[in-house]
Amino acid sequence: MDIRKMFEQMVSLVLVVGSAFFIWKSFIVGLHCESPIVVVLSGSMEPAYFRGDILFLTHYPDELDVGDHVVYELRGQMIPIVHRLMQRQEHADGHELFLTKGDNNRVDDRGLYQGGQIWLRRA
């Protein structure tokens, strides 16, 4: 293989990888979210979302209401969980607490939260 052909292939590879990186960063900036694209991993939200569905996320500072779909990660785990907000508590000092549940689950998510944790806090 000649040098010119190898150089062209390397330039093409750099352009493809660079374009993918640029598109990913554009999603992050445009949607105000660290992870703007997630794949649904379980059937816990059926029939709203099915395993394998791809979701585009936003992270705006709007108020969350009961019934909204939220995405959260548990400390130490990099797996996004997509569930519905079932209860919301707003405290006088301004912090909010949330309880979530998958539509297809019989019980709320307290069993998923970290040991002894009863509510989620908004980041």
Active-site annotation holder among 44, 62, 91, 95: 44
Of these ranges, 94-98, 101-105, 112-116, the one predicted with the greatest mean pLDDT is 101-105
Mean pLDDT of 40-56: 90
Q: What is residue 61's predicted lDDT score, i.e. its pLDDT?
A: 66
Tokens (6 digits) for 37: 């694209």
Rounded-to-integer distance, Cα 87 and Cα 66, Å: 6
Q: Is residue 99 very low, low, confident or very high in pLDDT (cuts 50, 70, 90)?
A: very high
Mean pLDDT of 65-85: 85
Cα distances (Å, whole numbers) of residue 66 to 69, 82, 99, 113? 9, 14, 9, 19
If you compute the radius of gyration of the chain from its CA atoms, what whole number of angstroms results? 20
Active-site annotation holder among 26, 62, 83, 103: 83
Q: What is residue 105's predicted lDDT score, i.e. its pLDDT?
A: 92
User: What's the mean per-residue pLDDT of the chain?
Assistant: 86
Active-site annotation holder among 42, 65, 91, 109: 109
Answer yes or no: 109 catalytic: yes
Q: Is pLDDT of 31 > 80?
A: no
Tokens (6 digits) for 53: 């569905």
Q: What is residue 12's predicted lDDT score, i.e. its pLDDT?
A: 94
Tokens (6 digits) for 45: 């939200």
Give the strands of the sheet with 120-121, arranged side by side: 69-72, 81-90, 96-101, 120-121
pLDDT above 90 covers a percentage of the chain that reads 34
Q: Is pLDDT of 24 > 90?
A: no
Cα distances (Å, whole numbers) of residue 57 to 7, 32, 45? 38, 9, 16
Q: What is residue 57's predicted lDDT score, i.e. its pLDDT?
A: 81
